[in-house]
Amino acid sequence: MATLTLIAEPLPDWEAEMHIAAARDLAKAVAATAPRSCSARFLVGRGSSAPEFESPLIRVEKLPMRASLLPLVWQSSATARPLDGEFVHSLTPMMPLRSRGEDDGSQTSVTIPHSIAWEAPAVLGGSQARLFRAFTRRAVKLADVVLTPTHATARVLQRQYGENLPVQVIQLAPPAEFRAGPDAAERRAALGLPERYAVTTSMSGEHGRLEWLFDAMRMDASLPPLVVLEGFDPGISPRDRDPSDIGGTQVPDELRDRVIAVQARELSDIGAVLAGASLLVQPQSFSGTGYVLLGALCAAVPVLHAGHPATAELVLDAGVSADTAGAFAAEYTRLFRDTDALAQLSVLACDRSRGFSWYGAAWQLWETHANL
C-alpha cells in the first residue's frame, strides 16, 4: 500500500497561509484520486492546527518539532531519515532531503512555486531570498522530481541550474477559501466595500508599482474605487519603499475617497473580495505562486497585469497586459469604458479557470510518482 506524504508546513513567507490551505485541498484531492490500496498522509508541525478530513484515506500526523524550527533543522540531511522509503511531496522547497540509494523505495517531489528569489530578490529581502535559493538548490540536487506551476518558472530554474535540468509543470489551483462562499456579500459589507470596484494586491515601490494605479486614477476620475488587499504580496525592501509608507498602504490625499485598503481577517475574505470585483489589477514586476490570480479567474474576474511571463501564462486571454505606467493607465481606463470588452474578458476568465483544479494536480502527482 503506497502512501503519498504531503508536507503541510511551507517556507515561512507571505504565502505561507495560502500554501497551508492549498496543501489541505491537495490532500483531499490526493485521497479522492488515490489508486487502489493507496492513501495520503498529511504532516503538520508540533503546535500547528491539525485539520480534520472526512476521507478515511488521509492520515494526519504531527512532526516532533514546531514549524518555526523546520527551516533550520531541515537544512540537515540527517533529518530526512524518518521519511526514508516514503513517497513525499511539498508545495514549497522546504522539505527534508538527503542523498539516497536507488533501491530504498523513497520518492521525493518538490514544487518550486515562483522565481522571485532570482528575478527580484530585493522583494523577498536578503535572508528570505537566500533561504529560498538554498532549499531550491537542495531540491534540484536531491529530489527525484522538481515541479513548477508555470513553464516561465521552469525556464528560470533551467537558466540557474542548467538547461538540461528536468522540470515538470503542475497546474495548481486556488485554495478553497479563495472561492466565494454563501456569505460573500456579508463579508464584503463587513469590510466596507462598495458595489463596484477594482482590486489589487500591489504595494508601493519599484517592484510593487501601486503608484501606477494611483496615477491612472488621477488621470481618470471615472474609474471605480480601488480595493488594495494588504499582506498578499511580499514585503518591499526599504530602498524600494516610499518613505511615507509606514505600517500599511499610504493613500494620496486626493484619492482617499476612492481607495480602500483592506486587511483580510481570514482567507475566506479574499474569496469574497475577489468575487465582488470587476477587475484584478496587478502591475507588479514579479509573480508569486498565483493563488490570487487563480482565485480571480474562478470568480470570472479578468486581470490587467504588467506582462510578467508567469502571470501571462496563467491568465492567457482572460486578461490584458501593459508593461509601462502610461500603457497600463490607458488599458485600465479602456476596460472600464468598454463594458463589452470587460464582459467578454469575464467570460474568458471563467473558461480559463476550468483548467485549474486540485483533482487535476493530484492526478498528475500520482502519475509522476508512478513513473519514477
What is the full DSSP assignment across 184-238?
HHHHHHHTT--SS-EEE---SSTTT-HHHHHHHHHH-TTSPPEEEETTSSPPPPT
Q: pLDDT per residue over 290-331, tens digit each?
A: 999 999 999 999 999 999 999 999 999 999 999 999 999 999
- What is the reported pLDDT for 102? 66
Cα–Cα distance, 315 to 300 (Å, whole number)? 11
Q: pLDDT per residue over 198-225, tens digit each?
A: 999 999 999 999 999 999 999 999 999 9
The DSSP element (H or E) to which 178 belongs, if any, is: none
- What is the reported pLDDT for 70? 87
Nearest CA to 285 among 120, 70, 147, 91?
A: 120
- What is the reported pLDDT for 244? 43
What is the full DSSP assignment across 9-38?
---SSTTHHHHHHHHHHHHHHHHHTPPTT-
- What is the reported pLDDT for 81? 66
pLDDT-derived band of residue 287, with 50, 70 and 90 as boundaries? very high
Q: pLDDT per residue over 263-282, tens digit each?
A: 999 999 999 999 999 999 99
Residue 105 cell numbers, joined = 523505495
Nearest CA to 143 among 127, 157, 125?
A: 157
Q: Quick one: average pLDDT of 111-126?
A: 95
User: Sign (positive/negative) of CA torsion 66, 72, 73, 74?
Assistant: positive
Q: Average model confidence (pLDDT) for the chain?
A: 92
Instruction: Lowest mean pLDDT of 18-32, 96-110, 356-370, name the range.
Output: 96-110
Residue 180 has pLDDT above 70, yes or no: yes
pLDDT-derived band of residue 77, with 50, 70 and 90 as boundaries? low
CA distances from 87 to 1, 65, 366 (A): 11, 21, 10
Q: Which residue has the higher pLDDT, 255 or 240?
A: 255
- What is the reported pLDDT for 209? 96
Q: Quick one: average pLDDT of 69-83?
A: 75
- Residue type (1 letter), 357: S
Sheet with 226-229: strands ordered across: 259-262, 226-229, 198-200, 279-282, 303-305, 319-321
Nearest CA to 365 among 34, 10, 24, 2?
A: 34
pLDDT-derived band of residue 246, with 50, 70 and 90 as boundaries? very low
Residue 30 has pLDDT above 60, yes or no: yes
Q: pLDDT per residue over 340-367, tens digit each?
A: 999 999 999 999 999 999 999 999 999 9
